[in-house]
Chains A and B, each alone.
Chain A
Amino acid sequence: MVQAQRRLKPRATGGGHARRRSLLIFLIPALALYSVFIVYPLISALEYSFYSWTGTRRGGFAGLSNFHDLLTKYPLSEQVWRALGHNCLFFVGTMLIQTIAGLTFAVLLHKSRRGKRFLQTAFTLPHLVSPIVVGYLWSLMLNPQFGAVNAALRGVGLGSLAQPWRGDPHLALPVAIVVNAWQWIGFPMLLFAAALAGIPEEYEQAARCDGASSWQVFRRVTFPLLTPVLGIVSVLTFIGNFNVLDLIYALQGSQGNPTFSTDVLGLLFYRTAFDNPDANAIGQSSALAVCMFVLIFGVSIAANRFFRRMEDRLR
Chain B
Amino acid sequence: MRKYCTLVAALSLALALPACAPSAQSSGGKVHLTVLSWRPEDTAGYKKIFAPYEKSHPKVTIDFKPIKSTEYLTVLPTELKKSQGGPDVVQLKPYGPLQSYVTSGDLEPLDGKVDVSNWPANVLQAAKGKQDGKLYGVPYALQTLQVLYNKKIFAQQNLQPPTTWAEFTAACDKLKKAGITPMATSGLQPWVLAIDHQIFGATRYGGDDFEKAVLTGKKNFTDPDYTASLDTTAKLRQYFPDKVTAVDYPDAQTLFTSGKAAMYPGGSYEVGPFTKSTPDLQIGFFDAPPAPGATVNHPLTSGYVDGSYGVNAHSDHRAEATDLVKWMATPEFGQLYASTLKQISLVPGTTPGDPLLAQAYQNYKDHGATYMMVVDFGYGNPLGRDQEGQALQKMLAGGSAADAGRFVQKGISAWFKPNGG
Contacts and interface: CB of A to CB of B under 8 A. Distances in A.
Contact of A277 (B7, B9, B80, B99): B99
Interface string B378-405: 1111110010001001101100000000
A276 B77 CA distance: 13
A37 to B, nearest CB: 5
Contacts of B12: 40-41, 44
A55 B77 contact: yes
Contacts of B381: 75-76, 276-278
B176 to A, nearest CB: 16
Contacts, number: 151
Interface stretch (B36-44, B186-194, B280-288, B347-355): B186-194
B103 A36 contact: no
B243 A167 contact: yes
Contacts of A162: 243
Nearest to A42: B5
B8 A168 contact: no
Contacts of B251: 143-146
A245 B74 CA distance: 16
Interface SS of A by simple majority:
loop
B8 A44 contact: yes
Interface in A258-291: 258-260, 266, 269, 273-279, 281, 289
Interface residues of A, number: 54
A258 B99 contact: no
Interface in A1-53: 36-38, 40-42, 44-45
B194 to A, nearest CB: 12
B193 to A, nearest CB: 10
Contacts of B5: 37-38, 41-42, 45
Contacts of A42: 5
B105 interface: yes
B246 interface: yes
A35 to B, nearest CB: 10
A57 B105 contact: yes
A278 B100 CA distance: 8
Nearest to A259: B393
Contacts of B13: 36
A163 to B, nearest CB: 7
Contact of B246 (A56, A76, A142): A142
A253 interface: yes
A217 interface: no
A166 B393 CA distance: 13
Nearest to B181: A145
A304 interface: no
A123 interface: no
A292 interface: yes
Contacts of B246: 142-144, 163-168
Interface of A: 36-38, 40-42, 44-45, 54-57, 73-76, 139, 142-146, 162-169, 243, 245, 252-253, 255, 257-260, 266, 269, 273-279, 281, 289, 292-293, 296-297
Given A56-B77, A56-B80, A277-B380, 19 more contacts: A38-B9, A40-B9, A41-B8, A44-B8, A54-B104, A55-B101, A74-B414, A75-B381, A76-B381, A144-B251, A145-B241, A145-B260, A146-B254, A167-B243, A168-B246, A257-B189, A257-B190, A277-B100, A289-B8
5 contacts: A41-B7, A45-B4, A259-B393, A277-B99, A278-B380
